[in-house]
Structure 1
């Protein structure tokens, strides 16, 4: 077999792996990106799944966290100015519809949101919302730098936070559940449910201890940075990263799955592909795949600390995943809840009582399917390039456990029945969604998610659960949280590392910083 050699090999062409690769290529290194599947992007892709001209996102669709990343804010790789990446930002961020078609409307503008809260809930909660956003914004300002660079070790982070009142308030929020945090600020349960419903989109139960962190950070974040709808589809980000990589001379190979990472004298020397081909890495190998694939499949136990495989096996997944329907629509949904909901970036459904909201997540934990709390995104309201003139694309999803009561192997048999129940809920709350307006749909159940992406083990698009004990400098493990591994020259990026899942490019940029540090490259000069 032919033996190729590169400075840096990146395993996995998700958006984080490609981000790390792009920084390294810009630094003048000879970079090769290896992808097991037939296309680039991982969970950040766009495909014509519902007919010609209908550009659908089968995984991620809203780009939120990346809006604050210096990658975009300072255009560090030229993705915007040189390669044409463009985002649209809805003025109405999201809406939450209750069973009686009353709703919560969240605007990009905080004052408009407060006015809506005063009208729909109470003047007291409207005032509390504005104060909450100001309070949480102070913590967000402190934590933002840790989202796109290596997070300080947990003890150091908490010691830093303990130096100020704002920092101590941040610690308080991080250690609560989302619902506990909301109980401290608001009186109307429907408002609490609406805010918790949105925060749960990180695929995390807002009743879990530690979920307060997501709500605390997300609420001021979306008002400040908005929700990004990438023009051309979620995969547009990857397309621009690919253009950047090729412009800097990088090699990108699909259908090139890695069988094992080669190690000699405690240091990686390259990889062996599933085809038997070996590729040499002169300076580094970066894994963007699931940490369980990396340490349990691609590396021999003898190259690792004795206890590491056990610690990796015990890493926890989320108790529920995602069930999606990708749709081609003759027209955009018209909700009974009103015109403002029609123009929302995301429309979510939720129970109206605390008891039912808690029961919903408890049912998911028990492996039950709940089709009555979906969310809908109609991307073409903001980006008409994704569909033929006058038509629309829809992304309808709900949470669903991989391990259902009937057994995970039953998902393919029951997916259409479940999809029809979810769709029926949407139809009941709109005036126009029916068989005549839905031109085509593609169903993606949790097992299909796993089949589409080998890194999404058991349908887990975030690789690991978003628990507090697997977050920040404890992701994936406290001793290996700074993108390095026990093997010399071997690094990690992707959803298994901080800041976790979602489209943030956070770990992609942070891993590039660590690589630059270890390889003697001035990162600040690189991005200046």
Structure 2
């Protein structure tokens, strides 16, 4: 007879691994089951193009990973994780060969925006400077059951959490508006979307305070470090095991799912518990093996880890609106990273890897390769001449690769309306479910998408409180 364990975790993405590690560190017996042959979820590294070229199929730069209270507490650096910082966290080039930049230096960023907006940028970020650790901890952990440590500071961020289109009115010129719009567009929503302003500001503050680093060797290093913590504290990880029903799992006091809400409902027999949950736009992603560095016209783009490509705030908004409303892309906004600018180990000597994606409608079956490369060429003429190989993935491929990406939605849920704030549904403990022994920890739960493990951390807290309560602890 199979003996009962304390906790079974389904899914070995960053959130599932963090939940498992947190619980194992507290003495619970933990087993993890992952459908893929390797752990990692959205934080993997693979040779997608040619031998020796190591690409991140999903996440690549990690401003919230380096900020994560959960990752810091687990001392992932002791398990091989090393953060690498490019000279600039992000650059936003323009067709005229110049660029606005997000620098660790507020002054350098302000200067890049021009005289009319330098002061406006400084005034926007000034109240938060030097307070990032406290602020990020609050917005990564706050819920109805966990009040913020600094409610005044968090409320000040919330006041700027208006739609990005409103926040951008403080800027006089296009450079600052485009820079901010590019950061807000990480929400995969139109600039008029609820809380897109807070998203843009959070990315800006992270850039100033902690940077937008990559993991040495690739994002797999994050997952491998988390897996090492699980095993160090006695947890067991099983790969290549697809879970279809709850009764296929070992008996346990609690089950934690790093899955989409709809998959959880199907596996755990919760019926229509999440019928109102909505999935958002997908992405079309291209990974490149290059014969040399990207030939950006703007010199600042050559020293940035991440480069955003959108000629204006209006162009960015049009691209995001098209993806959100089901229209084919025409002039896409691109989020790109160039890890080999700071980590040459990711490619053979003298070669480079390059990562680029645009947002497209959920479930879209088109091919945006030409559109992506036309946009890159606009800011880096001669780029195509450097391409040795490419690997493309649209919504169907992304969904097949990771079941959490319903319709190719890499954020595991639309960032729109009240769902931006109340994921996956209105509840005092959003990681709990209608089943008293079943919990959800994926990016569908607060604080939402990103490789920071905080959905897993927050769910683990809910689990151990429930387990201690059940034993009178």
TM-score (ref. length: structure 2):
0.92
Rounded to whole Å, the distance in 2 between the matches of 1:379 and 1:287 is 31
Structure 1 residue 192 displacement after superposition: 0.8
Deviations 1:22-43 (A, max 9, x none): 1112222221101122221111
Matches within 5 A, 1:376-415: 376-403=336-363, 408=364, 411=365, 414-415=366-367
Unaligned runs of 5+ in 2: none
Instruction: Identify which of 442, 445, 457 aligns with 1:497.
Output: 445
Rounded to whole Å, the distance in 2 between the matches of 1:237 and 1:253 is 18
1:343 aligns with 2:303: yes
Rounded to whole Å, the distance in 2 between the matches of 1:247 and 1:139 is 33
Deviations 1:425-474 (A, max 9, x none): 32342244224x211110011111001011111001111112251234x2
Structure 1 residue 137 displacement after superposition: 4.7
Deviations 1:259-294 (A, max 9, x none): 122xxxxxxxxx41xxxxx4111x211111001111
Contact 1:44 1:238 (8 Å CA) reproduced? yes
What's 1:445 paired with?
A: 394
* 3-state SS in 2 of match to 1:442: strand
Rounded to whole Å, the distance in 2 between the matches of 1:146 and 1:167 is 7
CA change 1:130–1:248 in 2 (3 A) is same
Rounded to whole Å, the distance in 1 between the matches of 2:178 and 2:267 is 43
What's 1:178 paired with?
A: 164
Q: How many residues align?
A: 468
What's 2:380 paired with?
A: 430
1:287 aligns with 2:254: no
What's 2:59 paired with?
A: 60
Unaligned runs of 5+ in 1: 262-270, 273-277, 522-528
1:85 aligns with 2:56: no
Structure 1 residue 352 displacement after superposition: 2.9
Structure 1 residue 372 displacement after superposition: 4.0
Rounded to whole Å, the distance in 2 between the matches of 1:85 and 1:219 is 24
What's 2:28 paired with?
A: 29
Deviations 1:320-348 (A, max 9, x none): 221111111111102112x2111111111
Rounded to whole Å, the distance in 2 between the matches of 1:359 and 1:115 is 27
Structure 1 residue 353 displacement after superposition: 6.0
Contact 1:346 1:375 (8 Å CA) reproduced? yes
Instruction: Identify which of 90, 101, 106 aligns with 1:110.
Output: 106
* 3-state SS in 2 of match to 1:479: coil
What's 2:119 paired with?
A: 127
Structure 1 residue 357 displacement after superposition: 4.0
Matches within 5 A, 1:43-442: 43-73=42-72, 76-81=73-78, 83-117=79-113, 121=114, 123-137=115-129, 143-152=135-144, 161=151, 164=152, 169-174=156-161, 176-183=162-169, 185-261=170-246, 271-272=247-248, 278-281=249-252, 283-295=253-265, 297-301=266-270, 309=272, 312-318=274-280, 320-337=281-298, 339-352=299-312, 354=314, 356-364=315-323, 365-403=325-363, 408=364, 411=365, 414-415=366-367, 418-435=368-385, 437-442=386-391
Structure 1 residue 124 displacement after superposition: 3.2
Contact 1:402 1:447 (8 Å CA) reproduced? no
Deviates more, 1:244-253 or 1:488-497: 244-253
1:510 aligns with 2:469: no
Contact 1:325 1:396 (8 Å CA) reproduced? yes
Rounded to whole Å, the distance in 1 between the matches of 2:70 and 2:313 is 41
Rounded to whole Å, the distance in 2 between the matches of 1:352 and 1:90 is 25
TM-score (ref. length: structure 1):
0.83
RMSD of Structure 2 on Structure 1 (CA): 2.4
Rounded to whole Å, the distance in 2 between the matches of 1:362 and 1:203 is 9
Structure 1 residue 181 displacement after superposition: 1.3
Rounded to whole Å, the distance in 2 between the matches of 1:237 and 1:286 is 20
Contact 2:71 2:452 (8 Å CA) reproduced? no
